[in-house]
Amino acid sequence: MILGNVLNTKLFLKISMHKLNNVANLFISIGGIGFLLNNLYLVFVSAGIVSFLLGVVSPRFSAKVINKYPTEHLGGIVTTVNSLLVLIPPVTSFIFPILTNVSLTFAYSGFLFYSLILLILSFIILRIEKDIH
């Protein structure tokens, strides 16, 4: 994540946040496939790439929020975004272990399904933004 944050200003200036998010979502799917195939290397590589891309996108996202909204509303918006960012990992780390009570394959399939939902949401958001502009 730190490496992505540092290299953001040098290598990834011309790549949009949506493309980077889609690539990250794709690697989350690859991580799910790695779980299904019991391929630990695939899981580690995909998790590393997702972390790297998170480091690339994070400063851009913060800058976009700061530039888009009036100063009076920034506190509430930043608090809401940070709350979501803090809330989602524990929820997912609670859900997937519960799914392992059914079976490991079911939990891994749930992870893959989660990644597909992320990809679909990303495309929906991109379509909405295109319709607005």
pTM for this model (two decimals): 0.77
Residues 128, 133: Cα–Cα separation, whole Å: 9
Higher pLDDT, 126 or 28: 28
Higher pLDDT, 129 or 122: 122
Residues 109, 35: Cα–Cα separation, whole Å: 9
Name which of 41-45, 88-92, 98-102 the model is least confident about.
Answer: 88-92
Buried residues in 60-97 as b, exposed as e (16+ CB within 10 A)? beeeeeeeeeeeeeeeeeeeeeeeeeeeeeeeeeeebe
Categorize the per-residue pLDDT at 6 as very low, low, confident or very high, splitting at 50, 70 and 90.
Answer: low
User: Tell me, what's the pLDDT at 8?
Assistant: 58
Residues 109, 92: Cα–Cα separation, whole Å: 14
Nearest to 31 by CA among 85, 108, 118, 119: 108
Q: Is the pLDDT score of 85 beyond 80? A: no
Give Cβ neighbours of residue 23 (< 8 Å, ≥ 6 apart): 49, 53
CB 24 within 8 A of CB 57: yes
User: Tell me, what's the pLDDT at 30?
Assistant: 92
Categorize the per-residue pLDDT at 10 as very low, low, confident or very high, splitting at 50, 70 and 90.
Answer: low
Name which of 20-34, 46-60, 75-89 the model is least confident about.
Answer: 75-89
Higher pLDDT, 105 or 86: 105
Taking residues 100-125, what's their average pLDDT? 87
